[in-house]
Structure 1
Amino acid sequence: MSFTDAVRTCLTKYATFSGRARRAEYWWFSVVYVIATLVIAGTSLAIEVPLLNILLLPFVAPMLTVSVRRLHDTGKSGRRMLIALIPAAGPIIYLVGMTRDGAPGANQYGPSPKAVAHLVG
């Protein structure tokens, strides 16, 4: 999945928690999220933190949904995202989980997006 395809998919599926997302889709949108944060924070150093959060609000829902779909791809529930709230080790465990390859074939969350991409492309 290309950069533009990943961003387009995340922005169009901003409210879709069902299904699965490939690693490329998650990581490319994560790059966009980080860049948006840096640009908004860097261009307006005088902005208060609450205003910065409001400006980033359009990116929160797509980031949340692609994270849940990414966990679905590895065969885990979206609730597994809460592991990141554990101090110190939680974010590391969460990020390691996001780097894992998706479950081959279909699982309880739907068909493999990698297999679907091979059939289409």
Structure 2
Amino acid sequence: MSASQRNKGASAERELFKLLGDQLGIAVARNFDQTWKGGADSLSVQGWAIECKRCEALSLASWWSQATRQAERTQRKPILFYRQSRRPWKAVVDLHHVLPGTFPAPGNLAEIALDTACQIIRESLP
């Protein structure tokens, strides 16, 4: 990965985590261990493993697979946020983690707006 790609990713994380922090009312920080140990981009939101992507060419299947693997390591629910240039942030969640009574098995993904993702996260917090 080039330095410009790393900088773009870090900038995207800071942008997203500021938005999440403002909407959730908590500090959302970058997971600096992700570079050396692998793992989610942030573990600051209780119960969630946050993966952040800022890319023009979408690769949702592989990004979701990565988010799921990282969440399993920490026994958290995966959530993937992504954004293309001049477009709003979107999120991908598995409805199994949101409505387990209705969706008893994983595999039903939903693409939602940032505001909706924040509402789901808020509802899940103790």
TM-score, normalization by structure 1: 0.28
> Which of 1 and 2 has greater Rg?
1
| Higher RCO (Cα < 8 Å, 6 or more apart) | 1
Bigger proportion of residues as helix: 1
Larger % of strand: which?
2
